[in-house]
Structure 1
Amino acid sequence: MTSKTLPQPPAAELSIVGLGGSAGGLEAFEAFFRNLPADTGMGFVLVSHLDPSHTSILTEILQRTTVMPVVEAADQMLVEANRVYVIPPNRDMTLFQSRLQLSLPEQPRGQRMPIDAFLRSLADDRGEHAIGIVLSGTGSDGTLGLRAILGGGGISLVQDPATAQYDGMPLSAIQAGFATHVLAPERMPAILQANRRHHAEISPAPATIGGMSRIMMLLRSGTGHDFSGYKKSTIGRRIERRMAQHDIEDIEVYARYLKAHPAETQTLFKELLINVTSFFRDPEAFAILKKDILPQILAGKPDDYVVRLWVAGCATGEEAYSIAMVLREVMEESGRELKAQIYSTDLDDDAIATARTGFYPVNITQDVSPERLRRFFVKEENGYRVKKDIREMVVFAIQNVIKDPPFTRMDLVSCRNLMIYLEADLQGRLIPAFHYALRPGGVLFLSPSESIGGHTELFSPLNRKWKFYRTAPSLASTRAMMASGLAWTTDATRSPPVEVMTKTKDTNIAEMTRRALVQSFAPVSVMTDSKGDILYVHGDTSRYLRPPPGQATLNAVEMAHEGLQLEMRSALGQAVSHGTPTLEREVSFMVGAEVRRVRLGVRPLPDPEPGLGLVLISFQDLPVSDPGKPARRRRAPSSADRERIEELERDLAYTRENLQATIEEQQSSNEELKSANEELQSTNEELQSTNEELETSKEELQSVNEELITVNAELQAKIEQLAGMQNDMKNLLDNINVGTIFLDDRLAIRRFTREAAKVYRLVTTDVGRPLADIKSDLGGDDLLAQAQQVIDTLIPFEREVRTIGGDWYLTRIQPYRTLDNVIDGVVITFSNVTARVAAEQAEQEGHDIAESIVDAVDKPLLVLDGAFSVIFASNSFYRDFKVSPGEARGRSIYSLDYIAWDSPALKDLLENVLPRKQSFSAFPLDSHKMRLGGRRIVCRTSGKPLILLTFEKDTA
């Protein structure tokens, strides 16, 4: 740890650290703050999974590990540097304009993700000054929050799973790739300090521009991608983050490091690919998409229309799946089932791989409603997987929209996560490309932070707030792209609009020619899928196919005439199973009494989409021999031949009947199997629903378990604290040698110290018994009555008592007050004062003896203090001078009326001579015919100087 003090940042640049922990997080929190200096210049906000019904003592526990103030967060509280804020129980917390926003939780107890919610708001509010830390805990809370922080330019720290009591949350963040540092909690403060020093010390220099250019060249040569059109501030922040991780402060040095380490080039490339997205980002925008935009796109479209959509910069696929779900809902609510093709592209191959799997952590419950989770996702052990019907609507591909050509004939293009990171020039070149990709009347969907810029001639706004734009008819986009210099445009395509229109006309002529040739020369055909269901019909097929009786069907095999059906079924099976075409097979069949011959062709076609299995079945009539035309003379068959022919014909007819019966039985079996499959599917759905309920219960129990673990950790810390306090109290009471008995409001024994056993005959088993049942050594003193009076009046009692053995104790009885200031009994203490009493008695005895001796001398005596006030006089003095003790004691000797003390000579003797000579004698008091003697003495007890005056009768 460094001791260097850094300057405090202004409020706008204050770095705020969000720490998230769950089960086992308390120990990690303590380790973190125990190694954190008090002057980091950052604010710290703790978010933990707390029991909503239990008062948290996390604030009190953490205050013992740091000198920074630790407070429980309150609504609208401003986050300040060098302070720690702890989330209260049963509250959701977010950050807005550096102020904490508290609210009651909306999600059920087992589905709350408070760490994700706070870290995402922290990323939105602080940007590159946001720091996210995920510590010990189960589940995946915090993963999506770290992704948002990284996307905003901040840094993320994750506890090393080997040091965590529960590694679920750290592993989730690490496996998702959102951890810039993985280390133990006690090492995290050093990383934070190093990062802050790096930002405080690094300053722009002329060499920075050159270093940035060299880094861009190294990225282009190493990855094939040009980032020169990206915003320099965005790229700069991520380069600085990589520099801080390698402890490099000069961008020129980092450029050389990048050149020497190709692996770092790939790491920086991944760092620059900002994959920040979520399901239904900006929910109100998706509500507009569902209510207004998609219905307008689908209005008036034929039933065989294919809806085409393109999501550019899809990151990990959440936005593409969100649009697919909304489109599915719109089609279901309108009762139309149109085919949809959603092309979703991104530059990051890792993000595309994640999107293709369609598997997301449980944190998506914060963004996806329970209804959509049920309809469009399958719950698995560690998250949710997109269902097959939604997954098949989306095609994911790696694409660089700057280098690669766009898709065309799109109904909607969504680009909500890309242009905000590009310079204005590159944005202006992409907008015409999106216009070129859209059909006439197509819709462009941007994020609230993006716009079409100056290309108002290409689009008209549909919703200005949520940035929906409709294409306007214009060739300006084509001209703009030809002049844009985008990598996918070539010199050959840079032709004037006239040539473009000519090419369009040539294409139409070629299409007309193709159609004429098909109509004139192609045989009658049907296009079917792998099951034989008809998708497209060319020509008049009534000579070969007819609707069968019963339930209507479009299956070509079932519609075929008898005799043709068997051949078609066999050929279709060969084409689908083995890809073997059947070409020019001659088949004869009967239609009533008419014999027809046809050349049958069944050809498998290459699939435009996987799993479709297209098959082309063609029919070409063959001539049938004319019955009126004389045939060649044949040898008349013999009777044996005729019998053989008849027998073979009967066998053939029997075989055909059996085959037809077998086919019908097979079809019946298929129907039964289909019905059984539907029942099994229904049962599977019920089991799936039951499984989802069990998963929900499991999540709730897991959440409760995490909360209980946190509460248990807090209570364990409290128990340790109480144990320490109890040990301190025991040693205190044992060493002050004061007997103490704690009684409840019924005067039953709560606790007692060993010294109390000298007064009351107490043993350990007496705890809980009434004190009245215990014999004491106090004789006739009734302390219980006094204890009851203290409980009733709350007035403390104090008295010295004597035991039977002769020991004296100062007894005090005071009310027993709880921390809540509730009277719950009394405390009786016994302080042994035997030695003091004995000393007082000895002193009093000595005093009495001294007074007896003085009185026996039968001479007037006075004892004065340093201020010449009377503190003692003998009985002879009171008798001879006819004064009472009350009139003399405590008064100055100069104020006594019965002696003329105002003599200057006497004053000089007392005040000046006596301090020098220590004594004098035979000073005449003429008014009383006495002589005065004096001596300075010292009190042995207090060490105070005193004056002893003696009076003797004058015998002269």
Structure 2
Amino acid sequence: MTPSFPVVGMGASAGGLDAFEQFFQHLCADSGMAFVVVQHLDPAHASLLVEILQRSTPMLVLEAVDQLPVVPNRVYVIPPNRDMIIANGVLQLSIPDLPHGQRMPVDTFLCSLAEECGNQAIGIVLSGTGTDGTHGLQKIRDAGGMSLVQEPDTAKFGGMPSRAIQAGSASHVLPVEQMPALLLASRGAAGPVPEMPPRPDRAGNINRILQLLSAASGHDFSLYKKSTIGRRIERRMAQHDIHDIEAYARYLKEQPGELQALFKELLINVTSFFRDAEAFDVLKQEILPQLFADKPEDYVFRAWVAGCATGEEAYSLAILLHEYMDESQRSFKVQLYATDLDDEAINHARAGVYPLNVAQDVTAERLRRFFVKEDGRYRIRKEIREMVVFAVQNVIKDPPFTRLDLLCCRNLMIYLETELQNRLIPAFHYALRPGGVLFLSPSESIGNHPELFEAQNRKWKFYRATHFPPASQAVMTQGRAWSVDYSRHATEDTMKRAKETNFAEMARRTLLQSYAPASVVTDRKGNILYVHGDTGPYLRPAPGQASLSVIDMARDGLQLELRGALQTAASGGATLDRMASIKNKDSLQNVRFSVRPLVDPVAGEDFLLVSFQEVADDAPKKTGRGKGAALPAELQRIGELERQLAYTREGLQATIEEQQASNEELKSSNEELQSTNEELQSTNEELETSKEELHSLNEELITVNNELQSKIEQLADMQNDMKNLLDNISVGTVFLDQHLVIRRFTREAQRVYRLVASDVGRPLGDIKSDLVVDDLLAEAQTVLDSLVPCEREVRTLGDATYLVRIQPYRTLDNVIEGVVLTFTDISRRIEAEEAGRAARDLAEAIVDTAREPLLVLNGKLEVISASRSFYRHFKVVPQETVGRSVYALGNGKWAIPALAELLETVLPRDRSVEGYVVDHDFPGIGHQKMLLNARRLAGEAGQPSMILLAMESID
């Protein structure tokens, strides 16, 4: 079940421990949110992160286990060597598939969090290196959640925060200690955003906002789903702490920059490589073979990816086509168009550079074949990049591509209202060839147009376009921006064209054909791009492999001059006029040609215009003899010049051939260098992989070191506490191991054994003690064997007395690893006991010496002691007297009212009473009249008071 409270996913690597502690130290215990901590951990090292974080927060910190439910006000920590996701409200753990050093645990969890919690998801990226977390934050932003990034200047390692900020994945950038306050402040805005209520004032403000967007961007969002627009507007309002939509509409009008930000917010660029991998498998194994069946080798395959976002889906299709052609050993020309409304996304797609976490979506084989790793990112290889043409296009109002074999439009129509979907489906049918395939996402369909398509795979939404002529008419009459003018004015424009004739254009074409010289347009290298007029007298196809080079196609006698003129014109940009003689059968024809530079102002490229024109010669030179032939001397001179010219041409031709041979050798060398470069590139990739693995290992070592450092500090504090405790309780303690070797001792123990610091590690039996009788080692061995503690008193040579306790040494795992001897100085107690015993003997002697009967009572009026004269006079024994209440003596005969008044009333008031008369029948001695003398003796501090009662008989 999806959690109904915000779930905060927190990711970090190196330096993240301090950041986590700062975060939780500033967070209250009842935030109503759950926190999941994902740290790069050493897979072979037990983590101390739970214990460390528990000291920073009153919330319960738990190490995650598989299927653990997520509840608010708790912190969950990822265990080592595990991948973790959240699904159905529980944490799910798995063993990582990728090798160590290539894992992206933060991205893995944040992506699942975005899918699970939507706008309730909150992602936080803290200190670390690399790119982990960037992709996951973008997913959370696309799902409507909040993404926080630590300010790089405040992080120990700013790599992860900087990459997230550069990718535009962060909605807030701030120091760690300010994050808890922001989360609590936005707690109300993080809740679920309901469907737009049908209140006129709110609907009017939404329309105002859409009108402002349309005016600023030229794009109409009025037919987008109102729930989507509402969530995006609510999120922008929350980021600016605006709670009234009318106030936000005013804010948009005053802040044009916010309009652009909201526009980007509404462009939902959610995509990935091979999203729904099973769908792409069906495309490759079932759909493409049908599309390429019975196609000639020179067939041009046309495809269009509408709403391509940052290009992952377009490149996925290009990779699939490349793989299919390789596996089927067939080669087709591919025209793959990818369009989107977001110009920034298109620029990203054109660059073809993606973070390392794409390895989660692309197989290792495809990564190796179609990607190049550079600067910590993956770049699409050249052969795949050249297959795709990216362009900015509004699929709603701009004309579609036509004669398509495949059209992919996935997860675009789910954000559009039904009316707009019903306009797009006929347009897609219009763009496809009969038999072409429309590829939608699993949550989309062709809606109310089943007559236009035939389902090929209903699960993954492949539809084949059927031949349905009314569909084209429906498209042209829908009122789409690219067809409105045509549908409205088609008949009128046709009639005008029938009535009006463009005589100027007709005359221009006729004059060009009649008077313009034969010409060709070439690029700067001389490759023919366009031919005008009859160039046969000057150019002819060159023998051998077909070539469009104007120099190779030039007739004999024209090549040399034409080559030089082209080189001069290409480098200098000036117009050149040259003369040359072309040999036609048995005569030489003079030709004038010119080379002029051409500049295309749109494309910004330079071209050359080569024009040819025959030169009239009244007396053309004949190569054979005849009437009117030249004189012998002239003929000799002509022959000599011709021989020189032929020799020069042969030499030039040889030079050209040598140059061509050199060029071939250079090409071969270049190919070898390219091969070497590829090998070096492969080596570099391996080194880069090793570098990434070492980098990851270094991050984990830093994390472990931070944890151990924290543990060392904690242990140092505990040792200081223990030292002060042992020093202040004044109890000597000696810790022995299982062999009775000294492990540790306290300062007070040096009064019993003559110990110094260097004695640690020595047997206790080697140390001389100050005990009168030193047999403690035997008793320690007995305790170690029996595990029964013992206790005894010992005396030292200095006449001090110690209470010795010997107990087993138990570890936290209840393992016996030695014994502990404690020495408590009881010398003063012994002296006090002896002094008390002497005083008690003296008091008893004094009491026994008195002639009158005497009783000593405690505060409860119980007899503590009695004199011998009391026993003699009243004829009782100590067993019947000591320890009993004075009223219970003589079987209760001493319960005398006068005695009770004396002891309980008079004595507490007067402290002492003398001559108190008591007349009573006492058991054993009969009726007697006695004088009682009583004194209350106050005890010392903490001691009870006593009563001294003396009796005297009156005859």
Seen in structure 2, the aligned counterparts of structure 1 residues 183 and 687 have a Cα distance that, compared at 3 Å, is same
Q: Which residue of 1 aligns with 2:765?
A: 772
Matched, 1:68 2:33: no
Partner of 2:147: 156
Shift of 1:763: 2.6
RMSD of the TM alignment (CA)? Answer: 4.3
The verdict on how the C-alpha distance between 1:581 and 1:435 changes in structure 2, with shifts beyond 3 A counting, is farther
Of residues 249-258 and 444-453 in structure 1, the stretch that sits farther from structure 2 once superposed is: 444-453
* Residue 424 of structure 2 is aligned to residue 424 of structure 1: no
Task: Find out whether 1:240 has 2:223 as its counterpart.
Answer: no
Whether 1:143 aligns to 2:134 is: yes
C-alpha displacement at 1:487, in angstroms?
Answer: 2.2
Say if 2:2 and 2:116, in contact at 8 Å, map to a contact too: no
The residue aligned with 2:249 is: 255
Q: 1:638 to 1:561 in 2, by over 3 A?
A: closer
Whether the 8 Å CA contact 2:792–2:803 is kept in 1: the answer is: yes
- Residue equivalent to 1:927: 924
Match of 1:77 in 2: 68
Question: 2:505 is matched with which residue?
Answer: none
Larger mean CA deviation between 928-937 and 340-349 belongs to 928-937
Residues 813-869 of structure 1: per-residue CA shift (max 9 Å, x gap): 222222222222222222222222211111011111122233334666554556665
2:797 pairs, out of 791, 794, 804, with 804
Cα distance, 1:645 vs. partner?
2.6
- CA drift at 1:352: 1.2
SS at match of 1:801: strand
Alignment of 1:271-286 (within 5 A): 271-286=265-280
Question: Is the aligned partner of 1:296 residue 2:290?
Answer: yes
Question: Judging changes above 3 Å, is the alpha-carbon distance between structure 1 residues 523 and 883 closer, same or farther for their aligned structure 2 residues?
Answer: farther
CA distance in 2: counterparts of 1:469 and 1:193, whole angstroms: 48
- On the 8 A contact 1:815/1:826 being kept in 2, the answer is yes
Q: Which amino acid aligns with 2:71?
A: E
Q: What is the SS of the residue equivalent to 1:196?
A: coil
Whole-angstrom distance in 2 between the partners of 1:227 and 1:585: 65
What is the CA–CA distance in structure 2 between the aligned matches of 1:798 and 1:136, rounded to whole Å?
57
Q: Which amino acid aligns with 1:21?
A: A
Q: 1:109 aligns with which of 100, 116, 124?
A: 100
Q: Which moved more, 1:412-421 or 1:594-603?
A: 594-603
Give 2:500's aligned residue.
Answer: none
1:508 match: none
Distance 1:308 1:926, change over 3 A: closer
- Partner letter of residue 792 of structure 1? D
CA distance in 1, matches of 2:88, 2:444: 22
SS in 2 for 1:484: coil
**Structure 2 residue aligned with 1:670, among 637, 642, 663?**
663
Residue 594 of structure 1, CA deviation: 12
Corresponding residue for residue 709 of structure 2: 716
- Partner of 2:129: helix, strand, or coil? coil
Structure 1 residue 186: Cα displacement: 1.1
Candidates 667, 679, 682, aligned match of 1:686: 679
The letter for the 1-side match of 2:326 is: E
Distance in 1 separating the partners of 2:380 and 2:794: 85
825-834 vs 25-34, which moves further: 825-834
Q: Give the conservation status (yes or no) of the 8 Å contact 2:193–2:231.
A: no
Identity of aligned residues (%): 60
Q: 1:913, CA displacement in angstroms?
A: 5.1
SS, match of residue 127 in structure 2: coil
What are the within-5 Å matches in structure 2 for residues 516-665 of structure 1? 545=541, 548=544, 588=582, 633-639=627-633, 641-665=634-658
Q: Secondary structure at the match of 2:187?
A: helix
Alignment partners' CA distance in 2, 1:417 and 1:828:
76
SS at match of 1:197: coil
Residues 524-566 of structure 1: per-residue CA shift (max 9 Å, x gap): 9999999899999999999955764xxx777878799987877
Does the aligned pair in 1 maintain the 2:127–2:156 contact within 8 Å? yes
**Residue pair 1:914, 1:936 contacting (<8 A) in 2 also:** no
Contact 1:800/1:810 (CA < 8 Å) preserved in 2?
A: yes
| Residue of structure 2 in register with 1:14 after alignment | 5
1:940 corresponds to 2:942:
no
Aligned to 2:471: 477
Query: For the residues of structure 2 that align with 1:606 and 1:480, how far apart are their CA atoms?
Result: 43
Equivalent residue number for residue 44 of structure 2: 53
Q: Who is 1:487 aligned against?
A: 481
Counterpart in the other structure of 1:438: 432
Task: Tell me the matched-pair count.
Answer: 921
User: Is contact 1:75-1:100 (8 Å) kept?
Assistant: yes
Q: Is this contact kept in 1: 2:732–2:823, CA < 8 A?
A: yes
Contact 2:272 2:312 (8 Å CA) reproduced: yes
Cα 1:576/1:367, change in 2 over 3 Å = farther
> What is the SS of the residue equivalent to 2:224?
coil
Provide the rounded CA distance (Å) in 2 between the counterparts of 1:716 and 1:210: 60
Alpha-carbon spacing, 1:266–1:926, altered in 2? closer, same or farther (3 Å)? closer
Matched letter for residue 927 of structure 1: G
**1:518 counterpart residue number:** none
Is 1:754 paired with 2:747? yes
Give 1:731's aligned residue: 724
> How far 1:157 moved relative to its partner?
0.9
Aligned to 1:312: 306
Unpaired runs of at least 5, structure 2: 498-515, 908-915
Q: Distance in 2 between matches of 1:525 and 1:13?
A: 76
Distance 1:601 1:288, change over 3 A: farther
Match of 2:21 in 1: 30
Equivalent residue, structure 2, for 1:461: 455
Matched, 1:88 2:82: no
Give the distance between the partners of 2:230 and 2:590, measured in 1 at CA. Answer: 77
8 Å CA contact 1:865–1:947 kept in 2: the answer is yes
Q: Is the 8 A contact 1:403 1:488 kept in 2?
A: yes
SS in 2 for 1:809: strand
The amino acid across from 1:308 in the alignment is R
Is residue 406 from structure 1 mapped to residue 403 from structure 2 by the alignment?
A: no
Greater Cα shift, 649-658 or 554-563? 554-563
In the alignment, the residues of structure 2 paired with residue 790 and residue 878 of structure 1 have an alpha-carbon distance, to the nearest angstrom, of 51
Residue 844 of structure 1 aligns to a residue whose secondary structure is helix
**Displacement of 1:782 after TM fit?**
2.3
Alignment of 1:883-922 (within 5 A): 885=878, 889-890=882-883, 900-903=890-893, 907-912=896-901, 914-918=903-907
Per the alignment, residue 226 of structure 1 pairs with 220
Report the equivalent of 1:197.
188
Matched letter for residue 65 of structure 2? A
Separation (CA, whole Å) in 2 of partners of 1:414 and 1:602? 48
Distance 1:579 1:474 in 2: 55
Deviation at 1:282, TM superposition (A): 1.5
Q: CA deviation at 1:732?
A: 1.8
Aligned residue for 2:188, secondary structure, equals: helix
Could you tell me which of 827, 834, 844 is aligned with 2:827?
834
1:92 to partner: Cα distance: 0.4
* Structure 1 residues 341 and 616, CA gap change in structure 2 (3 angstroms): farther
Which residue does 1:853 correspond to in 2?
846
Change (3 A) 1:820 1:168: same
Match of 2:512 in 1: none
Please, which moves more after superposition, 529-538 or 921-930?
Answer: 529-538
Instruction: Judge conservation of contact 2:120–2:192 (CA < 8 Å) in 1.
Output: no
Between 386-395 and 926-935, report the one with greater CA deviation.
926-935
Say if 1:706 and 1:629 are closer, same or farther in 2 by CA, change over 3 A.
closer
Residue 342 (structure 1) aligned with residue 342 (structure 2): no
Aligned partners of 2:440, 2:599: CA distance in 1, in Å?
Answer: 36
Closer/same/farther in 2, CA of residues 927 and 193 from structure 1, 3 Å limit: closer
Query: Would you say the 8 A contact 2:131–2:356 is kept in 1?
Result: yes
Any conservation in 2 of the 1:936–1:945 contact (CA below 8 Å)?
A: no
- Mapped to 2, the partners of 1:337 and 1:623 lie a distance apart of 52
CA distance in 2, matches of 1:446, 1:926: 117
Kept after mapping to 1: 8 A contact 2:581/2:588? no
TM-score, normalised via structure 2 length: 0.86
Deviation at 1:441, TM superposition (A): 1.2
Unaligned regions of 5+ residues in structure 1, if any? 1-9, 504-521
Change (3 A) 1:611 1:329: farther
Range with bigger deviation, 731-740 or 138-147: 731-740
